[in-house]
Structure 1
C-alpha cells in the first residue's frame, strides 16, 4: 500500500549509490546476493535474541534490495535478475520470521507459523497474477520499472519491513504483532484474488471438441 510513496522518497539516494556501485564494477545480481546473505545472517542473531544487531542486518538487507533494482536499471534489467530478486526476498522474509520462532519457541512458534502460512497466500497470489498478466501482455503503469507485474495490496514491502522493525524493537510482543500482520496479509490475499477475478474472468477454457 505504501510502496509507491516510499519509492519516490528513496529513489534519488538509491540512484546515486547505484552509480557508485556501477563505477566500482559490481553487477545487480552480485548486489542482490550480497544483500541476501546479509539478511540471512540476521537469523542466528534473532535466535540468540540479539535483536538490535538483527535489526541492523535487516535494514542493511533492505538497502541492498533497493540498490540492486537501481543498479539493474542502469545496467539493463534481466529476467533472471528479477527472478533472483523475488526468490531471495521471499526466502529472506520467511527466514526472519523463523528467527523469532527460534528465539522463543514456546511463545512465538504458533504465531510464526501462522504468519508464514499467510505469506504463502500473499506470495502465491502475487506471483500467479504476474504470470497471467505477462501471458496477456498487461503492463503495470503504477510500477513500470519492475521486471514483472507488481500487484499491490494492503501489505507490500514497506509494511513488511515496518513490521519487522516492530518485531525487533518489541520482541516480547512478537506473537501479537505477527498475528495482526497475518490478518492483514490475509486481506491482501483476498483482494488480490478479487483483482485477478476482475482481470482474468473473461478467459474461457478451450472446449475439447474431439470425438
Structure 2
C-alpha cells in the first residue's frame, strides 16, 4: 500500500550503492540469488527459535531485493531478471511462514496454512493480471520501472515484510498476526480480482473478446 512512497524514499541511497556494486562487476541477477540464499537461511534459524538472527537475515534479503532492482535500472533491466526476482520473492515469503509452522506446528499450523493460502490468492491475482496487462499494453503508472505490471493493494511488499519481521519479534503472537494479515491479503485479492476483471472488460475490444 505504501510501496510507491517507500520506493521514492529509498531510490537515491539504493542508486548510490548500486553504482558501487556495478564498479565491482556485480550484476543484478547475482544479487537476487545471493539475497534469496541469505533469506532462506532464516528458515532453519526460525525452526531453531533463533528469531533475532532470522530477523537480520530477512532484512538482508530485503536489502538485496532493493539493490538488485537498482542495479538493473543502472544497467539494463531484463525480463529474465524480473522473472527470477519475483519468483524467488514468492518462494521466500512462503518459506518464512512455513518455518514458523515447523517451529510450533500444533500452535501455528492452521493460521500459517491459511496465510500461505492467502499468499496464493494475492500472488495468483497479481501475476494473472500482469500477464493480461502485458498482452493488452496496459500501463502501470505507479511502478513504471518494473519489468511487469504491478497491481497495487492493501498487502504489498512492505506490508508483507513488516509482518514477517513482527513474526520474529513476537513469535508467541504468530497466530494473531498471521490471521489478521491473511484477512488483509484476502481483501487485497478480492479487490485485485474485481479491479482486474473490470479493467480488462473496459480495455479489451469486442473483437478481442470473441477470440
TM range (shorter): over 0.9
1:156 maps onto 2:160 in alignment: no
SS at match of 2:210: coil
SS at match of 1:146: coil
CA-atom RMSD in angstroms: 0.9
SS at match of 1:149: coil
The count of residues paired between Structure 1 and Structure 2 equals 207
2:24 and 2:99 mapped to 1: Cα distance? 33
**Which consecutive segments of 4 or more residues in structure 1 shift more than 3 A?**
202-205
Equivalence for 2:138: 138
1:97-176 equivalences in 2 (<5 Å): 97-176=97-176
Equivalence for 2:31: 31
TM-score (structure 1 length as normaliser): 0.96
Equivalence for 1:186: 186
Cα distance, 1:75 vs. partner? 1.1
Residue among 183, 206, 211 paired with 2:210: 206
Q: Which runs of 5+ in 2 are unaligned?
A: none
Equivalence for 2:59: 59
Cα distance, 1:198 vs. partner? 1.7
2:2 and 2:103 mapped to 1: Cα distance? 30
Equivalence for 2:72: 72
Cα distance, 1:138 vs. partner? 1.1
TM-score (structure 2 length as normaliser): 0.96
Q: Could you tell which deviates more after superposition, 11-20 or 193-202?
A: 193-202
For 1:71-100, what per-residue CA distance to the aligned partner results, in whole angstroms no more than 9, with x for missing partners? 000111000000000000000000000111
Cα distance, 1:206 vs. partner? 2.1
